[in-house]
A = this chain, B = another copy of it.
Amino acid sequence: MPSIFTKIINRELPAYIVAEDTQHIAILDIFPVKEGHTLVIPKKEVDYLFDLPPDDVAALFRFAQKVARAIESEIPCRRIGVAVVGMEVPHAHVHLIPINAVTDLDFTHKLSISEKRMKEIHQAIKNKFNQLYGNSNSMEN
């Protein structure tokens, strides 16, 4: 049974895809704690981050750094916070969250963002990623 993220990677489920390369995909979290809250996901479906081979862990965070650069260019924030919890979906994923204070990395408070605003954020981050890293890094243009 493929994970919800594998279904998104296979285009069997819709998502706000902001960046993609051969090994990874980045999508807006639909239960965001901040505007611009993004999930960076390895296409290899493993439950636990640290069960990925070391090369894959390294590649995942290299890709996450690029996505973070695109987010922080578009969403006003002091920096991009990082969290990996992994109790909800059994497919490893890195949360990238624009934060201004320690307390902003708080998964107990979800925002309600309109579809219109989600689309704006999606387009802004996606365009910035493509501008920074070129379409060769994105399979979703």
Where the two chains meet, the residues of A that have a C-beta atom closer than 8 Å to any C-beta of B are 48-50, 54, 57-62, 65, 68-69, 72, 78-88, 94, 99, 101-103, 105, 107-108
Contacts and interface: CB of A to CB of B under 8 A. Distances in A.
Contact of A86 (B57, B58, B62, B79): B79
A96 to B, nearest CB: 9
Interface SS, A side:
mixed
B107 A107 contact: no
Contacts of A83: 81-84, 105
A48 B79 contact: yes
Contacts of A57: 61-62, 65
Contacts of A85: 81, 99, 102, 105
A61 B50 CA distance: 10
A105 B102 contact: no
B79 A102 contact: no
Contact of A102 (B49, B62, B107): B107
